[in-house]
């Protein structure tokens, strides 16, 4: 008799169309039906192969079907997979200790959950527990922190930044409204018409003025992505984050780093270390579990943490399979110098993109730290007018035809993301760059 997987993967195109009537997908970018991957490559149901520059929502640092991850997961399954979070387990102890040992000096206590949105909410709970008189949080323009009824209120998707409201508009009457947004240091398009040297300073000054004059009561926390990802791969300048740390201390607000997308991808385990800024809480998710669902927060020693009183209770917060996968991934990253590869390959892609920009003026800004890479596409260099949504979609579609999966982002969707798994090799980078250049050639020069 055929195995279950053999039956699943032998599903015909007609059957897939029929089965698809039963599936609801609430977001994302449409793509082909993927059936098998290895390393940085993935194959669809028609047998077409792609180099994946999205790492599947930036969650696959070691690529597809990594042999050592598969082995450790199989070994753990012989012990158990899921354990109620009230019972202690060795994998949870070990992962918490490892994450704390890598974190900034004073961040040493870890709480696990399932996904990034719930981890942001966990960080908010810690902030409110430690600042019981405060109910407001500050986030940045272009921020994205999730799509739950709480985190949607912290994200640009609940605003009209793109010129229209997203589907989040259907839930506005129940979205958390305790968020106040302040300008982000978007230096390529400075909100105040400054150059990069002064833009970040004014954004920090706006934060201070907002905390002083624009909030009713004290602020519980300031939630910041050190590099805004879905909002456009916008990196915060170091001087800005250092100033934000000072302002949070001045007003007694907690500084929360949303590192869901920066963990390891920028060439350091934590953006806090890259920037030399110690936040009060770090939030992790996405690639933490090497493709398995897990998220976490790490909190400062001086903060009150969660207590066994139903303050933070999730059925799958103690998933041992995800925990051992996360531990094995860290072991491989350290053993194989993956962070060094991340820095080298990221710099190489950025350098190549700068060379391409001499032929394609539509490459307006190249934003790269490690393999956290975004290219802001424009209509022309003189006006810097954002590339139309139609053209951005065309680039992605032509790229798919030629064999690369590109991400799109920014609230205008004119930002191309090139964020492959951190194990990408030089020859694979050269191949994806050649395909990318051919894609731009077809879109803009034909």
Summarize the confidence of residues 242-268 as an average pLDDT: 98
Q: What is the mean pLDDT of the chain?
A: 95
Q: What is the pLDDT of residue 158?
A: 87
Please tell me the total number of residues recorded for the chain in this structure. 446
Summarize the confidence of residues 232-236 as an average pLDDT: 95
If we measure between CA atoms, which residue out of 299, 314, 283 comes closest to residue 143? Answer: 283
Q: What is the pLDDT of residue 289?
A: 98
Output the six-digit token pair for 397.
């579609």
Q: What is the pLDDT of residue 212?
A: 96
Summarize the confidence of residues 149-159 as an average pLDDT: 90
148: left (phi over 0), alpha (psi -120 to 50) or beta: beta
Summarize the confidence of residues 151-162 as an average pLDDT: 88
Summarize the confidence of residues 253-264 as an average pLDDT: 98
DSSP per-residue codes, 367-429:
EEETTEEEEEEBS-TTT-PBPPHHHHHHHHHHHHHHTEE-EEESTTS-EEE----TT--HHHH
Q: How far apart are CA 43 and CA 290, in angstroms?
A: 19
Residues 6+ apart with CB under 8 A from 22: none
Tell me the pLDDT band of 143, cut-offs 50, 70 and 90. Answer: very high
Output the six-digit token pair for 370.
């490690």
Q: What is the pLDDT of residue 1?
A: 54
Q: How far apart are CA 102 and CA 85, in angstroms?
A: 23
Q: What is the pLDDT of residue 366?
A: 98
- Percent of the chain predicted with pLDDT > 70: 99
Q: How far apart are CA 254 and CA 125, in angstroms?
A: 12
Q: How far apart are CA 416 and CA 232, in angstroms?
A: 9
pLDDT for 30 beyond 90? no
Pairing between β-strand 179-182 and β-strand 219-224 as defined by DSSP bridges: unpaired
pLDDT for 109 beyond 80? yes
* Whether the Cβ atoms of residue 407 and residue 31 lie closer than 8 Å to each other: no
Q: How far apart are CA 62 and CA 68, in angstroms?
A: 10
Topology agreement, domain 13-65+337-444 and domain 79-335? no
Q: How far apart are CA 258 and CA 244, in angstroms?
A: 14
Q: What is the pLDDT of residue 196?
A: 73
Each residue's pLDDT tens digit, 286-318: 999 999 999 999 999 999 999 999 999 999 999
- The single residue listed with the structure tokens 């059936």 is 35
Pairing between β-strand 281-284 and β-strand 227-228 as defined by DSSP bridges: unpaired
Tell me the pLDDT band of 445, cut-offs 50, 70 and 90. Answer: confident
Each residue's pLDDT tens digit, 63-88: 999 999 999 999 999 999 999 999 99
Each residue's pLDDT tens digit, 166-215: 888 888 888 888 999 999 999 999 999 888 766 768 999 999 999 999 99
Strand order in the sheet with 254-258: 107-113, 295-300, 281-284, 254-258, 219-224, 136-140, 179-182
* Helices 426-444, 338-356: crossing angle, 10 deg rounding: 30
Compute the chain's Rg from CA coordinates: 22
Q: How far apart are CA 209 and CA 52, in angstroms?
A: 43
Q: If you classify domain 13-65+337-444 with CATH, what class do you get? A: alpha beta
Q: What is the pLDDT of residue 409?
A: 87
Strands (E), 198-355: 219-224, 227-228, 234-235, 254-258, 281-284, 295-300
**CA atoms within a 13 Å half-sphere pointing along the CA-CB vector of 298:** 27
pLDDT for 412 beyond 90? no
Question: Domain locations in the chain?
Answer: 13-65+337-444, 79-335
Q: How far apart are CA 402 and CA 29, in angstroms?
A: 18
Pairing between β-strand 49-52 and β-strand 404-405 as defined by DSSP bridges: parallel
Output the six-digit token pair for 206.
């706006």
Summarize the confidence of residues 353-368 as an average pLDDT: 97
Summarize the confidence of residues 244-252 as an average pLDDT: 98
Residue 408 β-bridge partners = 416
Hey, which CATH number is domain 79-335, 2.60.40.10, 3.40.605.10, 3.40.1280.10, 3.40.640.10? Answer: 3.40.640.10
Q: What is the pLDDT of residue 384?
A: 94
Burial 97-123 (b: 16+ CB within 10 A, else e): ebbeebbbeebbbbbbbbbbbbbbbbb
Assign 40 to helix, strand or coil: coil
Output the six-digit token pair for 406.
């590109």
- The single residue listed with the structure tokens 């007609």 is 14
pLDDT for 14 beyond 70? yes
Q: What is the pLDDT of residue 163?
A: 80
Q: What is the pLDDT of residue 198?
A: 66
Summarize the confidence of residues 236-245 as an average pLDDT: 96
Q: How far is CA 273 from CA 11, 159, 318, in A?
A: 47, 32, 27
Output the six-digit token pair for 344.
């080298």
List the single range of 224-228, 335-339, 343-347, 406-410 with lowest mean pLDDT: 406-410
Q: How far apart are CA 239 and CA 188, in angstroms?
A: 16
Residue 227 β-bridge partners = 235
Q: What is the pLDDT of residue 249?
A: 98
SS3 content of the chain, % helix, strand, coil (to 5): 40, 20, 40
Alpha-helical regions (H) of 48-115: 55-58, 67-77, 90-102
Q: What is the pLDDT of residue 162?
A: 79
């Amino acid at each position: 008799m055929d195995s279950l997987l053999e039956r699943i993967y032998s599903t015909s195109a007609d059957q897939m169309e029929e089965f698809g009537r039963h599936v609801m997908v609430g977001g994302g970018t449409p793509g082909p039906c993927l059936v098998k991957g290895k390393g940085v490559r993935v194959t669809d149901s028609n047998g077409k192969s792609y180099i994946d520059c999205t790492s599947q929502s930036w969650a696959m640092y070691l690529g597809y079907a990594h042999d050592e991850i598969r082995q450790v997961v199989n070994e753990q399954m012989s012990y158990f997979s899921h354990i109620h979070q009230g019972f202690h387990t060795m994998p949870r102890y070990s992962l918490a200790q490892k994450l704390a040992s890598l974190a900034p000096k004073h961040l040493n206590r870890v709480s696990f959950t399932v996904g990034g949105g719930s981890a942001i909410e966990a960080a908010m709970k810690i902030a409110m527990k430690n600042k019981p008189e405060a109910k407001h949080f500050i986030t940045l323009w272009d921020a994205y922190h999730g799509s739950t009824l709480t985190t949607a209120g912290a994200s640009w998707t609940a605003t009209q930044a793109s010129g229209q409201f997203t589907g989040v508009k259907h839930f506005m009457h129940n979205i958390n409204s305790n968020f106040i947004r302040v300008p982000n240091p978007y230096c390529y398009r400075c909100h105040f018409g400054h150059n990069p040297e002064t833009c970040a300073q004014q954004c920090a000054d706006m934060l201070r003025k907002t905390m002083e004059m624009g909030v009713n009561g004290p602020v519980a926390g300031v939630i910041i992505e050190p590099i805004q990802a879905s909002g456009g791969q916008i990196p915060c300048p170091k001087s800005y984050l250092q100033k934000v740390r000072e302002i949070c201390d001045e007003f007694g607000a907690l500084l929360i780093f949303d590192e869901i997308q920066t963990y390891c991808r920028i060439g350091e385990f934590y953006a806090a270390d890259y920037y030399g800024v110690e936040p009060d809480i770090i939030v992790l998710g996405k690639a933490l579990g090497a493709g398995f669902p897990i998220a976490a927060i790490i909190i400062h020693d001086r903060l009150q943490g969660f207590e066994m009183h139903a303050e933070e209770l999730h059925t799958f917060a103690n998933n041992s399979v995800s925990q051992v996968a996360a531990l094995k991934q860290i072991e491989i990253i350290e053993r194989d110098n993956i962070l060094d590869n991340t820095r080298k390959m990221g710099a190489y892609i950025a350098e190549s993109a700068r060379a391409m920009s001499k032929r394609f003026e539509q490459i307006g800004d190249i934003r790269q730290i490690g393999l956290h890479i975004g290219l802001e596409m424009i209509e022309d260099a003189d006006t810097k007018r954002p590339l139309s949504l139609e053209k951005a979609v065309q680039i992605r579609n032509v790229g798919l035809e030629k064999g690369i999966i590109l991400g799109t982002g920014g609230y205008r969707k004119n930002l191309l993301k090139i964020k492959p798994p951190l194990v990408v090799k030089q020859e694979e980078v050269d191949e994806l760059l050649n395909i990318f250049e051919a894609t731009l050639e077809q879109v803009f020069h034909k």
